[in-house]
Structure formats: structure tokens, C-alpha cells
């Protein structure tokens, strides 16, 4: 122990080990408050970030459904005949 620590302990009436424990508690509390503050700032900075991802997923599901519908329509016999006739007419004109 230094003379200064002894003098502080004598003035305040607090023992050195207790003072060190309190200082440790204070450091941990300050660190926890800083982490909490950083977390709160992060959460409030971009509150709709997850919403954009969800919207993107919904659009992809809708596009996939629309593509499946188009494939089903294009595979039908009526549409095949219609498209074949259009291609034949285009080749006859040229």
C-alpha cells in the first residue's frame, strides 16, 4: 500500500479491499451501461432493416408463383398451338 492510499483510507474510513471491490463494481457497471447504450443505438438506427428482408422474401415467393403459373399456361396444348401458328405465320411472311 502506498502512503496516499493509506491517507485516503484514513480520511474516508473505508478499507482498501472494500474500496477496490467498489471500484471493480463501478467499472463493470459502466461497461454494462456502455454496452446497453450501444445496443439501443444499434436497434434504433435501422428499425426497418428486417422488414426489407421480409418484403424481399415475399416478392420472391410471389415471383416464383407467377413463373410457375406461366409455365403451366405455356405447357397447355391450346397455347402451344397458338404460339406455333404465330411462329409459322412469321416465317411465311419473311
Are 9 and 15 contacting, i.e. CB atoms less than 8 angstroms apart? yes
What is the percent of the chain where pLDDT is above 90? 18
Going by the DSSP 8-state scheme, the letter that residue 34 receives in this structure is: H
User: Which three three-digit cell numbers place residue 22?
Assistant: 467498489
Domain ranges of the chain: 1-45, 51-94
Check if the beta carbon of residue 73 is closer than 8 Å to that of residue 79: yes
Quick check: 21 and 10 in contact, CB under 8 A? no
CB neighbour list of residue 55: distance below 8 Å, 6 or more residues apart: none
pLDDT in tens, 39-70: 888 777 766 666 677 888 899 999 999 999 99
Provide the pLDDT for residue 17: 80
Amino acid at each position: 500500500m502506498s502512503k496516499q492510499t493509506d491517507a485516503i483510507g484514513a480520511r474516508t474510513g473505508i478499507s482498501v479491499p472494500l474500496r477496490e471491490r467498489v471500484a471493480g463494481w463501478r467499472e463493470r457497471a459502466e461497461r454494462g451501461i456502455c454496452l446497453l447504450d450501444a445496443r439501443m443505438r444499434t436497434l434504433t438506427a435501422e428499425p426497418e432493416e428486417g422488414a426489407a428482408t421480409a418484403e424481399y422474401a415475399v416478392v420472391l415467393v410471389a415471383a416464383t408463383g407467377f413463373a410457375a403459373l406461366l409455365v403451366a399456361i405455356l405447357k397447355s396444348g391450346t397455347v402451344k398451338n397458338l404460339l406455333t401458328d404465330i411462329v409459322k405465320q412469321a416465317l411465311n411472311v419473311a
